[in-house]
Amino acid sequence: MKERTLVILKPDAVNRTIVGEIIHRFEAKGLKITGMKMTHLDEDILGEHYSHHKGKPFYKGLVKFMMHCPSLLVVLEGNHAVDVVRKLAGETHGAKAAPGTIRGDYSLSNQCNALHASDSIESAKIEIKRFFRDNELFDYSRIDTEMIYAEDER
């Protein structure tokens, strides 16, 4: 089933110059980039995005870290995209994430864990709307679609 999901490449990924490598992994998997932009997230939008973490001991540090520099916001599309991207990202804590996953390969931290990825189809819809206007999302076909999906999967 075709889904869209939101990825935030966090300030550690930007500073450590690994955004290209991370985006390459998504592209190589067959996921389609349908939206992408750089934004310096502010306290208001982070308060909304991380509202379910308000009051937790790591909340203030997380928001401060997320405002360190601009982040890259990416919308990815593909069959089962939400689950696929979560699996590619790996476990939240970089030190616990399996090698071969993005966090497993590029992070040792709970906070500086390279990326955020929507955790369900419902939250993906909400998060994409939070960060992207309709005219910032693009419908197009990747030329290799026939080599990514069988006819009945497209």
Residues annotated as catalytic (active site), given as ranges: 116
CB of 21 to ligand CMP, least distance (A): 19
φ, ψ (nearest 5 deg) of residue 16 = -90, 10
Is residue 25 within 8 Å of residue 102, measured between CB atoms? Answer: yes
β-bridge partners, 5 = 76
Query: Is residue 16 helix, strand or coil?
Result: coil
Mask 40-69, x = binds ligand CMP (CB under 6 A)? Answer: ----------x--x----x---x-------
CB of 90 to ligand CMP, least distance (A): 11
CB of 104 to ligand CMP, least distance (A): 14
Mask 6-45, x = binds ligand CMP (CB under 6 A)? Answer: ----------------------------------------
Window 87-116: residues binding ligand CMP (CB under 6 A): 92, 110-111, 113, 116
SS3 readout for 54-116: CCCCCHHHHHHHHCCCCEEEEEEEEECHHHHHHHHHCCCCCCCCCECEHHHHHCCCCCCCCEE
Between 79 and 123, CB nearer to ligand CMP = 123
